[in-house]
Structure 1
Amino acid sequence: MQTITNRQTFDSTDIDGDALASRLLADGYVIAPALLDPASIDRLCGELDPHFEAASFGRGMFYGAETKRFGAVLRRSREAQEIVMHPSVLHVVESVIGAWCQCLQLNLTQAIEIHPGAPVQAPHRDQDMWAGPKGAMQYMVNVMWALDDFTNENGATRLWPKSHLANPEEMLPDEDAVSAVMPRGSALFFLGSTLHSGGANRSAKPRRGLIMSYCLGWLKPWENQWLAYPPHIARSFPPDVAALAGYRQHLPSLGNYEGQCPSVLLTGDRAPEHLPFTDALKDEHYELMRQYYDGLAAREHEAANGGRDDSGVSLAAK
């Protein structure tokens, strides 16, 4: 197993979002070491500690009997609400997938604790959950936050460099994988098209990480955001966090509630029983409608004037 070298990492004291995005698209992954300050990572871990204690071990070959997971992290941690909106992270995600959607959405938040003895996870590409064509666009960007130091021994995430450029159905040799060794508080960015897996934990302690995943706003997310964060929960979120979690429309009108932006559910005790359906379209849709109605008005005017324009000249003769 190789270890990621400095070529795939960036100094957190001088974050260049464009350079991060460029490296991510070139290699399929990139690390920003120690992107979170120590106080922030301490608050996050303190809020998540009781949930890790209460979480159950997984079932099945993929999730693993030696690994704990839980989702809906934004309602379990206020610090997570800050982290999910990290400006450098959003800049990278927008740069990579923003061209294919009108707005981003949260695909999932998931905390993971790999316990000693956990075997290596089977390699996979997260984009495989969507049936659309692969290779023409990127569907998602994952950000794995290191809640502990990630090492070769404790199950650091494995990645296959440039696998996002390979046949999307191809399984690659294990010896081609690299191990995302990084200090606590670092962020590992990787594409949904990048082949990856959790590593085997050969150490004496569990290894914790937190994935925040962002995808195209018109896709169905892996985690059902409206069940994870129903209105009575989401109304306590900052508006931009609630929007990322699905309480906004993706133009034109996708994800609406009674013909309006679902953010209407976050105001007051309850939304009115009946709401006026309100346009939420792209500029090009409004322009097409204007062209249609202008043409319709011209034809109606022609018909009202017996096929002649305002000067009395036959329109048929022009």
Structure 2
Amino acid sequence: MADKPEIFSKAGRTKPLPQDPVTRADVKHVLEHGYVVIPECFTRAEAKEARDEIVRLLGQNPLGGRNPFEGRNTNRIYSLLNKTRVFDKFTILPRVLALNDYFLDPGYLLSAFHTISINPGEKAQALHHDDGYIQFPRPRPPFGTAIMVAFDEYTSTNGATRIVPGSHKWDSHRRPTEDETIPALCPEGGVVYFLSTLWHGGGANTSSRPRQSATVQYCNPYIRPIENQILAVDPRKLDKIHPRILELMGYRHMDPFIGYADGLGPRRAARRMVRWLQQEVDENPPTFAHESREPKL
């Protein structure tokens, strides 16, 4: 039956390489090295707009990181989707989503999304891999992916992310050394795409200027995202956000029916939440938010 949900596991199945030649080449590079640099994802004008918006949002006295991992001399702006529409486009870049469609499961989510301004004098970040908090032995498929978005050119002196090519294939016991890293050089307007199993870390900025960028991280739909987008973004702003981004935030159920709320899809449940917050607390809500009781707004 066409409407019968697929609830069996597809884990371990080998995916065929994409037919599109560009995506196919990107996938093959990532499979071998764990990353790929993708130039010309957005224009110089869009890069400048992003840099200017970072300056505006940071204000006159921006705060540095709270610990060495965030970077004491690094400025980060979290919850971007709640604060501005300027950066939305960077979450749904076509070549990035094409790679995600290969490496992640259907219904993958936005795990983290924030800007990173590495200022002169910042030290190198500790090497890590993004899904290291998931206690599952390596080597294994990645639970997520990420991009570093270059609003400034990534150079060997301004804090370019340092990566360990091929480390996505390592087991759980091997640890990288600084000598094994290389700078992920990337032109302004490009992105560095890598798997969550790749060892990497922010580079030291020994230049005289800040390096402006953003990180967009994605995860499989059954993994808890690093940043909770449902709580981070005012639900009254959702109508201004692209529908595909809303899906990435978690405002769509995962097939066949994972993520519902009181029998409703998460987007409709969010609209109901907005109404609830404008009313007195209902101590005796209906047994079930059936279609007949919950309007399609």
TM-score bin (small chain): 0.7 to 0.9
Find 2:205's aligned residue among 192, 201, 206. 201
Instruction: Check conservation: 1:52, 1:113, Cα contact below 8 A.
Output: no
Instruction: Tell me if 1:270 matches 2:275.
Output: yes
Q: Structure 1 counterpart of 2:93, which letter?
A: H
1:38 CA displacement? 1.8
- Cα distance in structure 1, aligned partners of 2:252 and 2:196: 23
Q: Which has the higher helix share?
A: 1
1:201 CA displacement? 0.7
Q: Structure 2 counterpart of 1:156, which letter?
A: A
Q: Structure 2 counterpart of 1:35, which letter?
A: C
Find 2:28's aligned residue among 22, 28, 36. 22
**Where in structure 1 do 4 or more consecutive aligned residues deviate above 4 Å?**
266-269, 271-274
| 1:238-257 to 2 correspondences below 5 Å | 238-257=242-261
Q: Which moved more, 1:83-92 or 1:260-269?
A: 260-269
Instruction: Tell me if 1:58 matches 2:65.
Output: yes
1:270 CA displacement? 2.6
Find 1:165's aligned residue among 166, 169, 176. 169
- Cα distance in structure 2, aligned partners of 1:169 and 1:113: 32
- Cα distance in structure 1, aligned partners of 2:62 and 2:144: 26
TM-score with structure 2 length normalisation? 0.81
Note the residue ranges of structure 1 that are not aligned, 5 or more in a row: 1-13, 279-318
Question: Which has the greater radius of gyration?
Answer: 1
- Cα distance in structure 1, aligned partners of 2:291 and 2:171: 45
1:91 CA displacement? 0.5
TM-score with structure 1 length normalisation? 0.76
The percentage of counterpart residues that share the same residue type is 28
Match of 1:154 in 2: 158
1:264 CA displacement? 0.3
Give the RMSD, CA atoms, in angstroms. 2.3
- SS, match of residue 137 in structure 1: coil
- SS, match of residue 129 in structure 1: coil
- SS, match of residue 235 in structure 1: helix
- SS, match of residue 146 in structure 2: strand
Q: Which moved more, 1:30-39 or 1:215-224?
A: 30-39
Instruction: Check conservation: 1:48, 1:77, Cα contact below 8 A.
Output: no
Instruction: Tell me if 1:213 matches 2:217.
Output: yes
- Cα distance in structure 2, aligned partners of 1:172 and 1:116: 25
Instruction: Check conservation: 2:47, 2:152, Cα contact below 8 A.
Output: no
Q: Which moved more, 1:243-252 or 1:40-49?
A: 40-49
1:236 CA displacement? 2.3
- SS, match of residue 127 in structure 1: coil
- Cα distance in structure 1, aligned partners of 2:30 and 2:164: 13
- SS, match of residue 152 in structure 1: coil
Classify 1:133/1:250 alpha carbon distance in 2 versus 1 (closer, same or farther; 3 Å). Answer: farther
Match of 1:31 in 2: 37
Superimposed CA distance per residue, residues 5-54 of structure 1 (whole angstroms, 9 cap, x where no aligned partner): xxxxxxxxx98122112211210111012321222223333333212336
Classify 1:202/1:148 alpha carbon distance in 2 versus 1 (closer, same or farther; 3 Å). Answer: same
